[in-house]
Amino acid sequence: MREYVKKNDLPASLNKLRTMIIFASRGCVGKCTFCIHDIGPYRGLHIYEPKYFYNEIKLLYQKYSIRNFLIGEELMSPNLNYLGDFVKFMNDDFPDAYYSFPSIAAFVNPDVVKILEKGNCTSIAFGIESGSEKILTMMKKPSNAKQNLNALLAVEKSKINFGLCLMVGHPGENLNTLNETLDLLRKSKINKERNVFYTTPYPGSLLFHWAIRKKIIVNVDDYLMKISDHPASKFTVNLTQYPDFVVHMVRFYLQYNNFHAYTLKDFLAKNPAKIIWRIYNATLIFFKKTVSKFTLILYFRCYREILPLISKTYQPEIEYQDLHCTKPDIDDD
């Protein structure tokens, strides 16, 4: 057991805490096309009994001195009473322990944030995937663009950190849907790191069967071997009508647009060494006006010029309507 206890990539004040991943539930209320939570035994949200969850935390806390709990499923609970009870028993019985909270944008609101702020919640993790209503509908996401924006605004106004996840390369994605995502990010005024992932059809998902039908995935065995140890941050398969390099370009743009200027600043602002902060302030203007800003803006301008041309050149050749079917009409083999 002890070999699984490790440090986590946390702020300096938390990085020395013994950390463990735990689960408060299994499954999800969502039926996203790229996920497996709409098939067989994975369907639906199954929440553990509070007593069972409490006893697991108590064991790890007392026997292994765990002080940072990473709650690892997609959705801990949409129930405010359950969440309130969790925060209360953590405050009462484990006051020096910290935890992260997983959720989906549809359930992240001021009421949830207010409850979490009463405890030692270090972060909320949720994926908005896209700011386009069209793409969210095709993904069968349980949240819409307005809910995504409201979730971002609710967390941004709080003292809790959060992880923002986006996806690129979903079928049907084009210049218009990408601009809708950028507009949502601008409205939210989020100055946080973004995790941008490639759309990856996982085995058993609706998108996986669709990609096989469309012969995008030709050799299933090879594909399964390729993704077996392959995170979604790495490119696996292109589900769009655009060339691969365009999908890479879009991911780069979403990852770093309006982000490069404050990443280092945020890092140094938390560093107690004021001398480093002063050096940074003295050189910030120089670097923003020359090397970093010039190279990134040049890349972004190329993107703005190239992608519209590509959008006209590569017309959609793939039908997406059957993504809305409830069962894949394809043999498992």
pLDDT tens per residue across span 165-206: 899 999 888 878 888 888 888 888 776 667 889 999 988 888
Q: Per the domain annotation, does 300 fall within a domain?
A: no
Q: What number is the average pLDDT over the span 60-85? A: 86
Residue 10 has pLDDT above 80, yes or no: no
Residue 102 has pLDDT above 70, yes or no: yes
Q: Domain range spanning residue 21?
A: 2-241+316-324
Comparing 123 with 308, the larger pLDDT belongs to: 123
Residue 290 has pLDDT above 80, yes or no: no
pLDDT grade, residue 106 (50/70/90)? confident
Q: What is the structure's pLDDT at 325?
A: 44
HEC string for 187-214: HHCCCCCEEEEECCCCCCCHHHHHHHHC
* 102 phi, psi to nearest 5 deg: -90, 145
pLDDT grade, residue 331 (50/70/90)? very low
Comparing 30 with 225, the larger pLDDT belongs to: 225
Q: What number is the average pLDDT over the span 41-58? A: 84
Q: What is the structure's pLDDT at 87?
A: 92
Residue 122 has pLDDT above 70, yes or no: yes
Whole-number Å distance between alpha carbons of 211 and 78: 32
Q: What is the structure's pLDDT at 306?
A: 53
Q: Per the domain annotation, does 161 fall within a domain?
A: yes
Q: Per the domain annotation, does 269 fall within a domain?
A: no
Comparing 106 with 189, the larger pLDDT belongs to: 106
Question: In CATH, what number is assigned to the domain containing residue 89?
Answer: 3.80.30.20
Q: What is the structure's pLDDT at 330?
A: 36
Q: What is the structure's pLDDT at 103?
A: 85
Q: Per the domain annotation, does 114 fall within a domain?
A: yes
Whole-number Å distance between alpha carbons of 41 and 219: 26
Residue 287 has pLDDT above 70, yes or no: no
Give me the number of domains the chain comprises: 1
Q: Which one, of 101, 18, 124, lies nearest residue 67 by Cα?
A: 18
Q: What is the structure's pLDDT at 15?
A: 56
Alpha-carbon distances of 28 from 145, 257, 318, rounded to whole Å: 19, 31, 29
Q: Per the domain annotation, does 126 fall within a domain?
A: yes
Q: What digits encode the pLDDT tens for the residues 228-286?
A: 888 888 899 999 888 887 788 788 777 766 543 344 444 444 444 444 444 455 455 44
At 321, list the tokens.
Answer: 């309507």
Q: What percent of the chain has pLDDT over 90?
A: 23
- DSSP string across 269-316: HT-S-HHHHHHHHHHHHHHHHSHHHHHHHHHHHHHHHHHHHHHHHS--
- DSSP string across 79-134: -HHHHHHHHHHHHHH-TT-EEEEE--GGG-SHHHHHHHTTTTEEEEEEEEE-S-HH
Residue 323 has pLDDT above 70, yes or no: no
Q: Per the domain annotation, does 208 fall within a domain?
A: yes
